Amino acid sequence: MQLTLVALGGRISDHELLEPMKRWDVSEHSSASPKRSSTVSARLVIDTISMIAILAGIVYGALELRQFRQNKEREATFELMRLIQTPEFSQALTALIQLPDATTTEDLLALPKPQLDQLYHLQSTWESLGILVYRGDVSLNLIDEFYGGPILFSWRRLRPLVEYNRRIFQRESLNEWFQWLVERLEASYEGKPEMQPAHEAYRDWEPRR
């Protein structure tokens, strides 16, 4: 059934009547679509900026942590040098170097008391360094670079004395961290090529400019 209206002397069909409504409906949707699109784009921009800010914070935090660790390592190095490299330490190393290769427990116990005391001082020094490495206050690599050779040499010469005192005092914990440090150093060398002396390994080194 066709609907017709008479207006102002003319006839309007149902098709002509509905046409403005269709145009209004299309206009309504077309105007809403760009609005939703702009909202999505704004949210995407905000999310992207937030993500960049988070990543920048993580990178900055990582750099700050790295700098803190480097500063801590540097301070630990200076403190070790100040506390350990004393005249008494040098005298103890000298007493150690003077020991013959096949030193026995009897040889060590027969040493003059001042020289024997110096060797005990050396043992206590390595014992303290072992504890510091275990606690994470200084790195094993740092100890190796500064004292790796003297520590291993000390253990080879003084091990008979350490084992003798453990038997006498019935305490396996005597010089436990000294031995622990030696074993950690030896384990760090396993599977690696023999290290070159610094004057050979870094012959091409130049100072930073």
Residue-wise pLDDT tens digits, 123-167: 999 999 999 899 988 889 989 988 999 999 999 999 999 999 999
Q: Where residue 17 falls among pLDDT bands split at 50, 70, 90?
A: very low
Mean pLDDT of 160-185: 95
Do 99 and 179 share a domain, yes or no?
yes
Domain end, chosen from 71, 103, 137, is at 71
Answer yes or no: do 49 and 141 share one domain: no
Average pLDDT of the chain is 78
**Region of residue 2 (phi > 0: left; psi between -120 and 50: alpha; otherwise: beta):** beta
Q: Which residues contact 4 (CB under 8 A, 6 or more apart)?
A: 11, 12, 13, 14
> Per-residue pLDDT tens for 47-97?
777 778 776 777 766 666 666 666 776 776 777 777 778 888 899 999 999
Domain shared by 96 and 164, yes or no: yes
- Prediction pTM value: 0.64
Same structural domain, 59 and 98: no
Pair 112, 62 in one domain: no
Domain ranges, residue 39: 17-71
Residue 19, classed as helix, strand or coil, is: helix
Q: Are residues 176 and 89 in the same domain?
A: yes
* Residues 114, 30 share a domain: no
pLDDT at 172: 93
